[in-house]
Structure 1
Amino acid sequence: MRLLTTTLAALLWLAASVHAETLVGVAAPLSGPSAILGKQIEAGTALAAEAEGVAVQTVDDACTADGGAAAARQFVDAKVNIVVGFLCTEAIEAALPILKDANIPVIAIGVRTESLTDRRAKTGWPVYRLGPRGDDERNAVATILTRLWQNELFAVIDDGTIYGREIAETFRAAAEQAALKPVFVDTFRPQLDNQIGLIGRLKKAGATKVFAGGDGDDIAIMGRDAASLNAGITFAGGETLRTPPGDVPYAAGTLMIALPEWAEVADPKV
């Protein structure tokens, strides 16, 4: 929350320095499954606005295309100077054409879709991104693991989802360019109670390191089953490992490649 408030305070100060009387539109999912995140945005912007003396108008975009378009029309009617927020691609992509026509710039704080900014020259959308791009995670996995596992017998597996396939394939391709070849590549069946069969195949292939493109729960089960078979395998995954603890804890040594939590790296004196 502190990072969000500090960041938004800087944005609101910047907006206020341009417009003597500034009204900032805040787009956040205040309903639906992402409401808990939307409430954090709402609270952060309220604190930042109070500190900077800026007026805000918060609108529920519901993380949907219809919600994003409706929010954009409300911002246009209210004559806001700038819009911040948006966590979902569907909402912001529906809102941007409307906000573009009204010459209202947008600062996206959570949408990672690469095309949002890659297409900016073509679409003319006045959008700026605060969060990382979607391919930043994939590229980080590829860069870190090709260096870390260059002398290891490693495997690359995924759960068949778009996310899982893309992140696993990015790592596999980078490894190939670095003249590294996995000893095992496969797509696993997710959401099983156990992954004994998969672990058996990994062990037979000689893999000691495994990157899994999939959910944290599946990776936790793999780690448990690998330990039960004395397979000597260390698993790695992306940000999907950052989930609340499930019934099966992560095995010791499981590697997560992700941005650090602000609470873990921030100076408490700031």
Structure 2
Amino acid sequence: MKKLNRVLPLTLLALSMAASAQAPGEQVVLIGLAAPLTGPSARIGKDLQNGAQLALDDANAKHPTLNGKPVFYKLASADDQSDPRTAVTVAQQLVDGHVIGVVGHWNTGCSIAASRVYHDAGVPEIAPASTGHQYTQQHFGNAFRIMGHDDSSGAYTGAYAVKTLHAKRIVVMDDRTSFGSGLATQFIKGVEANGGTVVDREYVDDKTTDFSGVLTAIKGKKADLVFFGGIDAQAAPIARRMRQLQINAPLLGAGGFVSQTFLKLAGNAGDGVTALEPGRPLDRMPGGKAFDAQYRAKYHAPIELHAPFAYDAAATIIAAVQQTQSTDPAKLVAAIHAIDRQGVTGTIAFDSEGNLKDPAFTIYQVKGGSWDVVDILGGNASVAAR
């Protein structure tokens, strides 16, 4: 293996410096972070970067060693722009930069596209928020995810639509991305498995800003519930336009709605929107309250969405290094498969496919301009925050 402290040119990767300075003589170990750091999803990418950096800060504060020698963990951040083709390029850059593991990517399309590069290099990849099941269904032994996947969330959401919301005429819309389309497909399966009916499926794309046409068509279907497979930046204007068109059906979504940005963009139109999000609410995560305080103290801003999951992904890679006292990719992958540790978000342990075992899901609803917890499903929901 080539020296671990080789760093890519700054035109390719931005190195996020830890809070504490590297001491002379410390061996540098690079951990990659691949996320959208520019473009419309940059706020989420930055949130992931911040979460991962806190994990490295905590590790470095303990003065870790590797085979008896001081080691310093450094984050190598790469901007995939939420674009699968760019994701392949930055994955190769991270591998060429000799990262020992990667936290990323954010969306499923990017994780799938990049995973072949990491697989060929044997580098462990832990996706903090890629929920498309197909990512781990490739059966790459080095691919992991730190939250539940869409097959589970779709089944939960479909059952909730039928059994709790008592929807009879359901219309499904998605943004044609791997994430949105996969989520919508699994939702439909969940609806049908619980005796519900989907009367129409409509499509936009992830760049659509005018939803008038598709929502007018949906209004004609007399839907009593609209499910959207996509992210918060589009869900918010959909909610506003539905109110303007007097579509009184509730808007339901999953995995990407529950953010401060949605609340800001949706305004009063957000009230009543319901969403299922992988993971527990921050204040009900085992380490959520402490993490929230740490995040706010360093970044002077609230957590946007997935920072705790990025923290756990980075901390898991570091735990594998410390357990094996090695940066050999094969040893790290084996250690991650066997790992069973308490993280900020819950218990971190993976099944044979690389999925998180017994993941939690939370149902939220917007009430009075805030996301209120309705229910927690799976993931040993009785676990209390400490």
TM range (shorter): 0.5 to 0.7
Structure 2 counterparts to residues 8-87 of structure 1, below 5 A: 25-29=30-34, 32-33=37-38, 36=46, 37-51=48-62, 53-54=64-65, 55=71, 56-63=73-80, 64-75=87-98, 83=101, 85-87=103-105
Question: Runs (4+) of structure 1 moved beyond 6 Å?
Answer: none
Give the equivalent residue in structure 2 for 1:268: 289
Matched, 1:255 2:260: no
Relative distance call for 1:52 and 1:147 in structure 2 (3 A) is: farther
Aligned partners of 1:229, 1:115: CA distance in 2, in Å?
A: 36
Give the equivalent residue in structure 1 for 2:161: 145
Matched, 1:236 2:276: no
Deviations 1:41-77 (A, max 9, x none): 133212223236242243344443343334334438x
Structure 2 counterparts to residues 67-216 of structure 1, below 5 A: 67-75=90-98, 83=101, 85-87=103-105, 89=111, 90-98=113-121, 100=122, 106=124, 108-110=126-128, 112=130, 114-120=133-139, 125-188=141-204, 191-193=208-210, 195=212, 198-216=214-232
Q: How far did 1:211 drift? A: 1.0
Task: Indicate the SS of the match to 2:248.
Answer: coil
Aligned partners of 1:201, 1:31: CA distance in 2, in Å?
A: 33
Q: What is the one-letter code of the residue matched to 1:50? A: A
Deviations 1:226-267 (A, max 9, x none): 434544221111233235145442431011111356534346
Q: What is the one-letter code of the residue matched to 1:28? A: L
Task: Indicate the SS of the match to 2:62.
Answer: helix
Structure with the larger helix share: 1
Q: TM-score when scaled to structure 2?
A: 0.49
Task: Indicate the SS of the match to 2:278.
Answer: coil
Q: What is the one-letter code of the residue matched to 1:169? A: T
8 A Cα contact 1:25 1:59, kept in partner: yes
Percent of aligned pairs with the same amino acid: 14
Aligned partners of 1:207, 1:168: CA distance in 2, in Å?
A: 16
Aligned partners of 1:140, 1:32: CA distance in 2, in Å?
A: 31
The answer for unaligned runs of 5 or more in structure 2 is: 1-25, 66-70, 81-86, 291-385
* Cα RMSD for the two superposed structures: 3.7
Give the equivalent residue in structure 2 for 1:9: none
Aligned partners of 1:186, 1:31: CA distance in 2, in Å?
A: 27
Task: Indicate the SS of the match to 1:132.
Answer: coil
User: Number of residues paired by the alignment?
Assistant: 236
Give the equivalent residue in structure 2 for 1:15: none
Structure with the larger strand share: 2
Q: What is the one-letter code of the residue matched to 1:253? A: G
Aligned partners of 1:111, 1:260: CA distance in 2, in Å?
A: 10
Bigger drift between 134-143 and 252-261 goes to 134-143
Q: TM-score when scaled to structure 1?
A: 0.66
8 A Cα contact 2:154 2:190, kept in partner: no
Deviations 1:107-147 (A, max 9, x none): 51426354554343xx5x44444333354443443343343
8 A Cα contact 1:72 1:96, kept in partner: no
Q: How far did 1:202 drift? A: 3.6
Q: What is the one-letter code of the residue matched to 2:189? A: A
Q: What is the one-letter code of the residue matched to 2:95? A: A
Aligned partners of 1:231, 1:248: CA distance in 2, in Å?
A: 15
Aligned partners of 2:36, 2:222: CA distance in 1, in Å?
A: 48
8 A Cα contact 1:85 1:107, kept in partner: yes
Q: How far did 1:181 drift? A: 1.6
Task: Indicate the SS of the match to 2:237.
Answer: helix
